[in-house]
Chain A
Amino acid sequence: MSAVSDTKAEPMIEARGIHKYFGGSHVLRGIDATIARGEVAALMGSSGSGKSTFLRCLNRIEEPSQGDVLIEGTVITDLRTDVNRVRADIGMVFQEYNLFPHMTVLENVALGLIYVRRRPRSEAQETAADALKRVGLADHVTKHPQQLSGGQQQRVAIARSLAMRPKAILFDEPTSALDPEMVNEVLEVMRTLAEEGMTMVVVSHEIGFLRKAADQLIMLDAGQVVERGPTARVLDEPEHERTREFLRAIR
């Protein structure tokens, strides 16, 4: 077996025994997860179960207290890792969009290309414009985020991640802050990404979307995985009582 096919076989993201303490509170209690290249994994669980914290450990926006994260087989949770490099390769989309209000939409998307990828400004802006076209916002490049609707802002945030040509994108409840009529335009973009083979980890409770787009569903409760499996199986035949309760509650 050659080295190349070896890396191909590696999962894109692997989490091994992740623990996280905030002061005295034990928020993540040993979480394992394996997400293959091109796979879409969904994280579900009630508020406070540790979904955001776990997601943030995957690109070390939050430092795990214990355990390892591997990206394409490389451990990124040790001291020698260049975290900025890792983060440039793993996109992240937040519930509150978190665009930069003092920049135009195009500048928002080009920022990482210019200062992290070190691309010349003109080339970065071209790439950024392409990314914005992919999320259907080619006409809004010169606007400021505040001039856009929530759904449009969230699509800019997705374009900002996309422009970096990431290996994977992490989504933390990307539609929870949106008015209902804007949820679909964002989910639509995410579904296209999934079909194009983007590796994604998505915290979401949009059952319809997950059913179509997610390959694997991981159910968290109090910082632990209570159930995991193919999306349809977990949704239709949940094995664990906590999962059943949760699914009843959100339906």
Chain B
Amino acid sequence: MRQELIKSRPIPLILMFLVGLGYLLAAPATSGIGIAFDITATVAVFVAFLFLFVPVQIDKGAPLWLQNLSALALLVLATAAFFRWADGDWGRLGYLFFNVEVMSRPGAMARMLSGLWIAVQVFLFSLVLSTLLGMFMAVVRSIVNDALLNFFIDAYVDVFRAVPPIVLLLVTYSALPYSGIVLSPFATGVVALTLIEGAYLTEVFRSGIEAIHRNQVLSARSIGLTAWQAMRLVVLPQSVRIVLPDYSNRLIGLMKRTAETSVIAIAEILKVAQDLQSQFVNATPLVVGALLYMVVLFPMTRFVSRLEKSRPRQ
């Protein structure tokens, strides 16, 4: 037991110490924000120095709060160092990319938020439709298992996994009017994303179904369940658990891919941000757009990481 309590030096802590020390050894600032950075650096070096000598259990590493604190200190120090040594035009940069005045103009924030809402709608519609499509294809492929049908399903999967979403969006958008089919940009975007995502999800669900041992189906059929019942009651509930992490990762990708629908004039985040950018001749809307994506995606990625840690072992 005693032997496990050997000194552990978490890398963020060491980096924090080194960067802070380096920062302090370079000429310290004398005015403005620089002084705040100097104080932070001093504290960081002190804290890091202390904790470098605190023994922690090797398999547990440093406590979580300390890891978070040192990561934060490292971020601040790196930012400070960047500002100190990069020869930037900070005033111009702040004006163009972090301009509060521009974003507080009438309608600017409202339009950004409506862009977020539309992006979320594109995401949700494509998500539901592609899940249904992928689930349907995978289930039919497994149950009907007819050579010709399998060929068509595999061809669909192969083709749509090989097309970049942005290309499919542009092609569908410009080709549809000639085919006599009238679809709004929104519908076109949802259809294109659904087709691509459906192809990936067919594969995800197919692998999940195949991961369930054949004996489970035999056993279900032997009590008189139909093939569909065996699928619904026995196979799918187990498959879904297995594919949940893969599925959620696709989900994150889909949310990001909604940005590509901007090329067919769907007023989602990116489109609105670009419009505002040219209207105001200022790039702040793009930065705000990036933040909006992060607001949605941070919780999603966190959630998926948790899922992956609890992935059932087969």
Binding site for B on A (CB under 8 A): 59, 61, 84-89, 91-92, 94, 96, 98-102, 111-112, 115-116, 160-161, 164
CB closest residue in chain A, given B229: A115
Determine how close the nearest CB of chain A comes to the CB of B159; give it in whole angstroms.
32
A160 close to B224 (CB less than 8 A): no
**Number of chain B residues close to chain A: CB under 8 A:** 17
Chain B residues whose C-beta falls within 8 Å of the C-beta of A92 in the assembled complex:
219, 222-223
Q: Which residue of A lies closest to B226 (CB)?
A: A84
Contact B234 A112 (CB under 8 A): no
A residues in contact with B225, CB < 8 Å? 84, 111-112, 115-116
Given A100-B234, A115-B229, answer yes or no on A94-B219 (Cβ-Cβ < 8 Å). yes
A102 to B219, CA, bound (A): 14
Residues on B with beta carbons closer than 8 Å to the beta carbon of A102: 237-238, 241
Whether the Cβ atoms of A59 and B237 lie closer than 8 Å is: no
- Check B223 against A164 for contact (C-beta < 8 Å): yes
Cα of A115 to Cα of B216 in the assembled complex, Å: 16
Interface hub of A96, A99, A111, A161 (most chain B Cβ within 10 A): A111
Q: Which residues of B contact A98 (CB under 8 A)?
A: 215-216, 218-219
B221 at the binding interface (Cβ < 8 Å): yes
Please report the C-alpha to C-alpha distance between residue A54 and residue B226 in the assembled complex, in whole angstroms.
Answer: 22
Interface: B233 (CB within 8 A): yes
5 shortest A-B CB distances, which residue pairs? A88-B224, A98-B219, A112-B223, A116-B224, A92-B222
Contacts A94-B218, A98-B216 known; 18 new A-B pairs at CB < 8 A: A59-B222, A61-B221, A61-B222, A86-B224, A87-B221, A88-B224, A91-B222, A92-B219, A94-B215, A100-B216, A102-B237, A111-B223, A112-B224, A115-B233, A116-B223, A116-B225, A160-B223, A164-B224
* Per-residue interface assignment for chain B, residues 184 to 217, with 1 indicating a CB less than 8 Å from any chain A CB and 0 otherwise: 0000000000000000000000000000000110
A112 surroundings in chain B (CB, below 8 A): 223-225
Q: How far is the CB of A25 from chain B (nearest CB, A)?
A: 19
What secondary structure prevails in chain A residues at the interface with B? mixed
Some 10 contacts from A to B, beta carbons below 8 A apart, are A61-B222, A87-B221, A89-B224, A94-B215, A98-B218, A112-B223, A112-B224, A115-B225, A116-B224, A164-B223
Q: How far does the Cβ of A121 sit from chain B's closest Cβ, in whole Å?
A: 13
Q: Which residues of B contact A160 (CB under 8 A)?
A: 223
| Nearest-Cβ distance from residue A93 to partner chain B, whole angstroms | 9
For residue B208, give the distance in angstroms from its CB to the closest CB of chain A. 13
Cross-chain contact of B215 among A96, A161, A164 (Cβ < 8 A): A96
B58-86 vs A, Cβ < 8 Å mask (1 yes, 0 no) = 00000000000000000000000000000
- The CA-CA distance from A224 to B219 in the complex, in Å, is 26
A61 CB, nearest partner CB in chain B, Å = 6
Q: Across the interface, which residues of A come within 8 angstroms of B221, CB to CB? A: 61, 84, 87
Measured between beta carbons, the chain A residues less than 8 angstroms from B218 are 61, 94, 98
Q: How far is the CB of A94 from chain B (nearest CB, A)?
A: 6
**Chain B: minimal CB distance from A117 (Å):** 8
Which A residues are CB-close (under 8 A) to B229?
115
On chain B, the residues within 8 Å of A84 by CB distance are: 221, 224-226
| B238 & A101 in contact (Cβ 8 Å cutoff) | yes
Q: With A94-B218, A115-B233 as given contacts, are A88 and B223 in contact (CB-CB < 8 Å)? A: yes
A112 to B221, CA, bound (A): 10
Q: Tell me the nearest residue of chain A to B236, going by C-beta.
A: A102
- Name the CB-closest residue of B to A164: B223
Q: How far is the CB of B71 from chain A (nearest CB, A)?
A: 39
Q: Which residue of B lies closest to A92 (CB)?
A: B222
Contacts of B224 in A (CB 8 A): 84-89, 112, 116, 164
